[in-house]
Amino acid sequence: SLIKPWKYFDRTKVYMADLESGLHYLLRVELASHKILEGPELSTLKDFITVLSKLFPGQQPAVKLLETLQEWLVSLPLDKIPYNAILDLVNNKMRISGMFLTNRVEWVGCQGSQPQYRGYPCSLWTLFHTLTVQAATHPTMHILPGFDSPQILLQVIRKYIHYFFGCRECAQHFEEMAKESMDKVTTLDDAILWLWRKHNEVNNRLAGAPSEDPMFPKVAWPTPDHCPTCHEEIKGLHTWNEKEVLTYLKSYYSVDSISLKYSE
Ligand code: FAD
């Protein structure tokens, strides 16, 4: 049935089950509507998988799948790839050992109080924040030719959203925000804060909208009860202490604090 039993979870944690369910959805559902990948879509997919293969903080079988997919995509001398060939690899048709991606959708921190709420878009934000923190704390991308700019991860995320995100209206909004200020990002820490700021702008815009899960109201995040030092009042006006926010984000989205509860 569509209604799954409620899973108790800690609102101060990131769950691997959300990241892996999101990756499953991205690779087996979202991409599946593109029967043939070519041109800018293909190069975007290659870049996105390259970034994930370096930064996805998952368990070994999922990381191995991303690495294998990355090597295969980059080495193929074709300018068109049928989606079905990608799916065969994702499903490990060649039976390479130690490589596996769950094919279950198991939302935990991203579960909604009704099936129409949360889920995949929540897992995508979670993935993107985790990647920006990974990039700044475990820099492994600068060794890749063409991936050495502190902006590159955000630019790859931007292209993924533009070409593939199923919510077209979201993609348009995100592109507007990116056009306005993404090119001003100059450090890896800046990239973390840029995404945090833009996510709050989206929360602010969507507060009270029909897509809002009443059990998960859209608020400026992190709230004072989760990060008191992130909030300051200057002459009666609320301001963020961005140094504290950065520290909070680096801890909240760090690989070491991802919970494996409910993941396979
Ligand atoms: P989400 O907003 O999905 O957040 C997931 C989790 O991230 C939260 O539970 C919280 O733990 C954490 N979080 C919240 N805010 C921040 C922050 N500022 N920084 C770091 N972590 C944070 N929906 C629309 O209707 N219109 C749009 O234009 C739109 N644009 C989108 C653009 C993108 C790129 C994405 C990924 C999604 C977009 N969505 C849009 C979907 C929407 O933002 C939510 O993902 C969806 O409504 C589910 O909300 P949620 O309650 O699960 O929380």
- Write down the H helix ranges in 26-105: 39-55, 60-75, 83-90
pLDDT at res. 15: 98
pLDDT at 148 over 90: no
Cα–ligand 1 centroid distance for 57 (angstroms): 20
pLDDT at res. 60: 96
Identify which of 18, 19, 110, 122 to mutate to test ligand 1's pocket (most ligand atoms within 8 A of the CB): 122
CATH T-level fold of 14-207+227-256 = Four Helix Bundle (Hemerythrin (Met), subunit A) (1.20.120)
Integer Cα distance of 69 and 90 in angstroms: 8
Classify 133 as helix, strand or coil.
Answer: helix
pLDDT at res. 145: 81
Question: What confidence tier does 2 reach under pLDDT thresholds 50, 70, 90?
Answer: low
- Which has the closest alpha carbon to 150: 164, 133, 136, 129? 136
Who lines ligand 1 at CB under 6 A?
A: 110, 118, 121-122, 124-126, 129, 161, 167, 169-170, 173-174, 196, 199-200, 202-203, 206, 209, 211, 213, 216, 221
Give the tens place of pLDDT for each residue, 46-86. Answer: 999 999 999 999 999 999 999 999 999 999 989 999 999 99
State mean pLDDT over 213-239.
Answer: 96
Give the tens place of pLDDT for each residue, 242-258. Answer: 999 999 999 999 999 99
- What residues contact residue 134 under an 8 Å CB cut-off, 6+ apart? 55, 57, 255
State mean pLDDT over 1-15.
Answer: 86
* Ligand 1 atom nearest to CA at 217: 51
State mean pLDDT over 18-27.
Answer: 98
* Ligand 1 atom nearest to CA at 161: 34
Cα–ligand 1 centroid distance for 72 (angstroms): 32
Question: What confidence tier does 142 reach under pLDDT thresholds 50, 70, 90?
Answer: confident
Phi then psi dihedrals of residue 137, to 5 deg: -100, -25
* Ligand 1 atom nearest to CA at 200: 18
Cα–ligand 1 centroid distance for 124 (angstroms): 8
Mean pLDDT for the chain overall = 95
With tokens 């704390």, the residue in question is 137
Q: How many CB atoms lie within 10 A of CB 225?
A: 8
Give the tens place of pLDDT for each residue, 150-191. Answer: 999 999 999 999 999 999 999 999 999 999 999 999 999 999
Of residues 146 and 70, the one with the higher pLDDT is 70
Strand partners, 81: 37
pLDDT at res. 250: 98
Identify which of 23, 125, 176 to mutate to test ligand 1's pocket (most ligand atoms within 8 A of the CB): 125
Give the tens place of pLDDT for each residue, 155-164. Answer: 999 999 999 9
* Ligand 1 atom nearest to CA at 157: 34
* Ligand 1 atom nearest to CA at 117: 48
Cα–ligand 1 centroid distance for 215 (angstroms): 14
Quote the tokens at residue 214: 């009443």
Give residue 11's identity as a one-letter amino acid code: R
State mean pLDDT over 219-247.
Answer: 96
* Ligand 1 atom nearest to CA at 169: 28
